[in-house]
Amino acid sequence: MSDTLSFSQSIKSSAFVPRKSLGQNFLVDQRMIARMVRACEFSRSDTVLEIGPGQGALTFIILPQVQQIIAVETDARLAEQLILTQPPDKLKVIHKDFLKYDFSDLTPPLKLVGNLPYYISTPIMLRFLEQRKIFTDFHFTVQLEFGKRLVASPGTKDYSSLTCFVNYFTEPTLLFHIPNSAFRPAPKIKSCFMRLKVRPQPLVRVNDEPFFLNLVRLSFLQRRKMLINTLSSLNTRTQLTTAFEKASIPLNARAEELTVEQFGSLANQLTKLHSAGNKSESDTCLLMDG
Ligand code: SAM
DSSP 3-state of 52: coil
When pLDDT is averaged across residues 109-130 and rounded to a whole number, the result is 96
Distance 248 CA to ligand 1 centre (A): 45
**pTM summary value:** 0.89
Higher pLDDT, 283 or 229: 229
Strand-pair category, 183-184 with 26-27: antiparallel
206 Cα distance to chain centroid = 21
pLDDT of residue 52: 98
Q: Which helix (H) or strand (E) holds 170?
A: strand 170-178
- 186 C-beta closer than 6 A to ligand 1: no
Query: Which ranges in 7-143 belong to alpha helices (H)?
Result: 30-40, 59-62, 76-85, 121-130
- 115 C-beta closer than 6 A to ligand 1: yes
Probe ligand 1: pick from 19, 28, 51, max atoms within 8 Å of CB? 51
**77 φ/ψ angles, rounded to the nearest 5 degrees:** -60, -40
Phi-psi region of 52 (alpha: psi -120 to 50; beta: other; left: phi over 0): left
When pLDDT is averaged across residues 67-85 and rounded to a whole number, the result is 95
**Has residue 2 got a pLDDT over 70?**
no
- 25 C-beta closer than 6 A to ligand 1: yes
When pLDDT is averaged across residues 109-138 and rounded to a whole number, the result is 96
Indicate which atom in ligand 1 lies nearest the CA of residue 33.
4
Rounded to whole angstroms, the Cα distance separating 38 from 48 reads 14
Q: Which residues lie below 8 Å from residue 43, measured CB to CB, with a gap of 6+?
A: 65, 66
Question: For the segment 7-62, what is each residue's pLDDT rounded down to a tens digit?
Answer: 333 334 456 889 999 999 999 999 999 999 999 999 999 999 999 999 999 999 99
CATH superfamily of 13-198: Vaccinia Virus protein VP39 (3.40.50.150)
Domain limits, the chain:
13-198, 209-286
Which of 11-25, 107-121, 150-164, 216-230 is predicted least confidently? 11-25
Which of 52-66, 101-115, 269-283 is predicted least confidently? 269-283
pLDDT of residue 14: 55
Contact 219, 255 (CB under 8 A): yes
Q: Does domain 209-286 have CATH number 1.10.3720.10?
A: no
Contact 239, 228 (CB under 8 A): no
13-198 shares its CATH topology with 209-286: no
Question: For the segment 173-195, what is each residue's pLDDT rounded down to a tens digit?
Answer: 999 999 999 999 999 999 999 99
- 56 C-beta closer than 6 A to ligand 1: no
pLDDT of residue 88: 75
Per-residue pLDDT band at 276 (split at 50, 70, 90): confident
Rounded to whole angstroms, the Cα distance separating 120 from 61 reads 24
Residue 1 vs residues 52, 101, 148: alpha-carbon distances, Å: 16, 11, 35
Contact 160, 132 (CB under 8 A): no
pLDDT of residue 32: 98
Q: Which residues of 38-74 are buried (b: 16+ CB within 10 A; e: fewer)?
A: eebebeeebbbbbbbbbbbbbbbbbbebbebbbbbbb
> By alpha-carbon position, which residue is closest to atom 21 of ligand 1?
74
